[in-house]
Amino acid sequence: MDYRTMKSVLEGLLFASGDEGIPLKTAAEIVGADPGVVRDVLDDLAREYVRDERGIRVAEVAGAYRLTTAPEHAPYFEKLAISPARSALSQAALETLAIVAYRQPITRVEIEEIRGVNSDRAIQSLLAKDLIEEKGRADTVGRPILYGTTRAFLDWFGLSGLDQLPDPGLYESGELAERTRLLFERSEERQLSLEDLERALELERE
């Protein structure tokens, strides 16, 4: 398969894979090429979309490649349809999400010990928005549910993995604001303001 044909086939695979995306290894197996070559072709396709000012982009999210929309066009998509499930998070839900992201897997009781208040409603809100999910049960009395973040959480912030979260070790260094800004500006949809996110992460300093 020549280069031009491979790029065309990969573009079609990205479209067909939808929101789930397609892992590099899977794409390489389908086109019968080395993963390194396939990555180069996908990177070339991504640059082509940007160079030609196309309305779509190629993104690597949670270990898979997928087609996304251009971030700068977000206001127009919001006019098309605003999903209640993607509405802004309350401060309580935001605090709970930050705790789960950094302490997962974590139980409801542990979350409430950190926040100091009942967190049932915040947890249910995050579950409904598919930002957190049940990760099993703890080996303690009562076998409480353990919560962790989802693929949708990574998708929301445009992260390829949890290792791209700001380093908790920097919390006392004064670099948190800048590191947080650089990381979350990658998000395709800035549903949460930087200031709100930083206020939530303040809990982890205590």
Each residue's pLDDT tens digit, 154-200: 887 677 788 877 665 544 444 433 433 443 444 434 444 444 455 55
- Lookup: tokens for 76: 């127009």
- Is residue 85 packed enough to be buried (19+ CB in 10 Å), middle (13-18) or exposed (0-12)? exposed
Burial of 196 (0-12, 13-18, 19+ CB in 10 A): middle
Which string of b and e fits 34-53 if b means at least 16 CB within 10 Å? eeeebbebbeebbeebeeee
Residue type, 65: Y
More confident residue, 7 or 85: 7
What pLDDT score was predicted for residue 169? 53
> According to the model, what pLDDT value does residue 199 have?
54
- Domains of the chain plus CATH, in order, are 3-75 (1.10.10.10), 84-205 (1.10.10.10)
Residue 186, SS3? coil
How far is residue 137's CA from residue 105's CA, in Å, rounded to a whole number? Answer: 9
Q: With CA atoms as reference, report the closest residue to 149 among 202, 198, 206, 106.
A: 106
